[in-house]
């Protein structure tokens, strides 16, 4: 089945620790995105990538980093600089980054701070 | 920057009642999309509206795009328990990224 796979489903971070969230897609989509979801705040864009080896900051990129070494993969690292990392993280993809392209979402990773 | 406001934030209805959520943008949009997120799940695309004044239906769901392309609504007729979830609108202006509303969480009393 084609889709987007996020892992792990739950993740715990200790003080000062970097953690990496995995996102893999087999939809052959060019564009991939990371969103953060907090209760009552909708989805906020962290980073996005339109093509391999290229990515751009979204609205809340501080404290996060990404890489796009392969078309299929777009991992997100939550660094120790992100002081309030507890949230539900959603990875998404679309066939292109042009207008009118719908997003396909993964099942999400819930990150909590120990 | 572009903002998309969605109201109400929460809505509780009796099964069989109708439900409407509204989405308003501070700027004219090129298109608007609607997504549904079931409790504990991830957002799933429902529909996209592109034309001014456009109305689209999916069974009991009716989607509208305003004449000025700055607002949109989703109306569910005769809600069922399967309609429970959070409904998000997401607006796009030209080649800019999608901006999501805060979502409307729908709960239903069976």
Distances in Å between the Cα of A56 and the Cα atoms of A99, B11, B33, B40, B41 are: 17, 36, 22, 29, 27
Chain A within 8 Å of B91 (Cβ-Cβ)?
A: no
Band (pLDDT 50/70/90 cuts) for residue A87 is very high
Give the Cα separation of B68 and B39 in Å (integer).
Answer: 33
Nearby residues of B40 by Cβ (< 8 Å), 6 or more positions away = none
Scanning every residue of chain B, which has its alpha carbon at the shortest distance from the alpha carbon of A5? B42
B95 pLDDT above the threshold of 80 = no
Smallest Cβ–Cβ distance between A99 and the set B41, B95, B102 belongs to B95
Which residues is A78 bridged to in the sheet? A19, A64
Model confidence at B1, pLDDT cuts 50, 70, 90, reads: low
In this complex, which of B42, B48, B95 lies closest to A98 when CB atoms are compared?
A: B95
> Residues B4-62: pLDDT tens digits?
999 999 999 999 999 999 999 999 999 999 999 999 999 999 999 999 999 999 999 99
- Dig out the tokens for B10 from the structure: 């929460």
- Residue B44 buriedness (CB in 10 A; 0-12 / 13-18 / 19+): middle
């Amino acid at each position: 089945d084609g889709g987007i796979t996020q892992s792990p489903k739950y993740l715990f971070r200790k003080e000062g620790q970097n953690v990496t969230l995995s996102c893999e897609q087999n939809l052959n989509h060019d564009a991939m995105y990371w969103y953060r979801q907090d209760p009552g705040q909708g989805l906020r864009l962290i980073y996005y990538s339109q093509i391999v080896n290229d990515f751009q900051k979204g609205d809340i990129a501080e404290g996060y980093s990404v890489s796009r070494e392969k078309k299929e993969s777009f991992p997100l690292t939550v660094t120790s600089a992100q002081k309030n990392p507890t949230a539900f993280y959603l990875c998404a993809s679309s066939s292109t980054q042009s207008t009118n392209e719908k997003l396909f979402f993964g099942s999400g990773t819930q990150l909590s701070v120990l | 920057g572009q903002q998309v406001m969605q109201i109400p934030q929460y809505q509780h209805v009796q099964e069989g009642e109708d439900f409407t959520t509204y989405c308003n943008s501070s700027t004219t949009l090129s298109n608007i999309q609607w997504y549904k997120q079931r409790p504990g799940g991830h957002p799933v695309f429902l529909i996209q509206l592109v034309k001014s004044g456009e109305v689209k239906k999916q069974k009991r769901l009716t989607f509208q795009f305003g004449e000025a392309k700055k607002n949109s609504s989703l109306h569910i007729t005769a809600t069922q328990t399967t309609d429970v979830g959070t409904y998000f609108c997401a607006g796009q202006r030209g080649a800019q990224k999608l901006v999501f509303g805060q979502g409307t969480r729908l709960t239903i009393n069976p």
